[in-house]
Structure 1
Amino acid sequence: MSQQDNFTAGFFTGAFLGGIIGGIVGVVVAGRLQQEEAEMDDLVLSSEADQTLNSASPLTEARIEIARRGLEDKIAQLNEAIDDVRQQLGKVNGHSQPTEDASRVD
């Protein structure tokens, strides 16, 4: 029985010491990772601030104009689809509705 007692005591001692050492290593590594993450956040924030200061560049303005035109095209398509549905519903109900309406998206 003494061999079994030694094994049990050694097992629990090893688990206890391993837990302590693992905990210490985890705290040290987590602290370093947090510090590195904070430094990266600072770099990202400073980079974003630089980009907003230089946001009036011609390239950015051109992209905004392209996006605006694309949105205008989509709005026109939606208005056409709305008009088509209104005309179809008017035919189903037996009376015609005007195509111009105040609820159109402009």
Structure 2
Amino acid sequence: MSQSGNFTSGFFVGALLGGLVGGVAGVLAANRISRTDADEAANFNQLSDDIRQNLADMSNDERMEIARRGLEDKISELNAAIEEVRQQLGSTNGHMTDYETSTMDS
């Protein structure tokens, strides 16, 4: 019986100490993360202000050209991804799909 009492009291003391150490570690980690997030937000706001200033300095034609190039890049990325998936799907069956044969004929 005495070992059972020692185990129970040791268990509770360990749980309390572990909770205390874990709580302190959590507070320290949260504080560090909070400071890092605040620094990142300040850097992002500065970058955002710089981008806004650069956009304000550009003419409408320059902004439209940049937007057009960005869209063309995204479209080419999407086309490449679609082609890659089409090739993967076509090779899994070992033969060409109806779509692939119709595009090769034209």
TM-score by length of 2: 0.56
- Number of residues of Structure 1 aligned to a counterpart in Structure 2: 66
2:65 to 62, 76, 80: 62
Which residue of the partner structure matches residue 25 of structure 1? 25
The offset of 1:60, in angstroms, is 1.9
More helix by share: 2
Q: Quick check: 50-59 or 39-48, which moved more?
A: 50-59
The offset of 1:46, in angstroms, is 0.4
Matches within 5 A, 1:1-106: 1-55=1-55, 56-57=57-58, 59-63=62-66
Which residue of the partner structure matches residue 101 of structure 1? none
Give 1 or 2 for the bigger CA radius of gyration. Answer: 1
The residue type equivalent to 2:63 in the other structure is: T
Q: State the structure with bigger RCO (CA 8 A, min sep 6), 1 or 2.
A: 1
Distance 1:60 1:17 in 2: 61
The offset of 1:57, in angstroms, is 3.0
Q: List alignment gaps of at least 5 residues for structure 1.
A: 67-106
The residue type equivalent to 2:50 in the other structure is: D
- 1:38-84 alpha-carbon deviations (Å, 9 max, x no partner): 000000000000000000436423246x5xxxxxxxxxxxxxxxxxx
Runs of 4+ in 1 over 4 A off after TM superposition: none
Q: What's the C-alpha RMSD, in Å, of the aligned pairs?
A: 1.9
The offset of 1:24, in angstroms, is 0.3
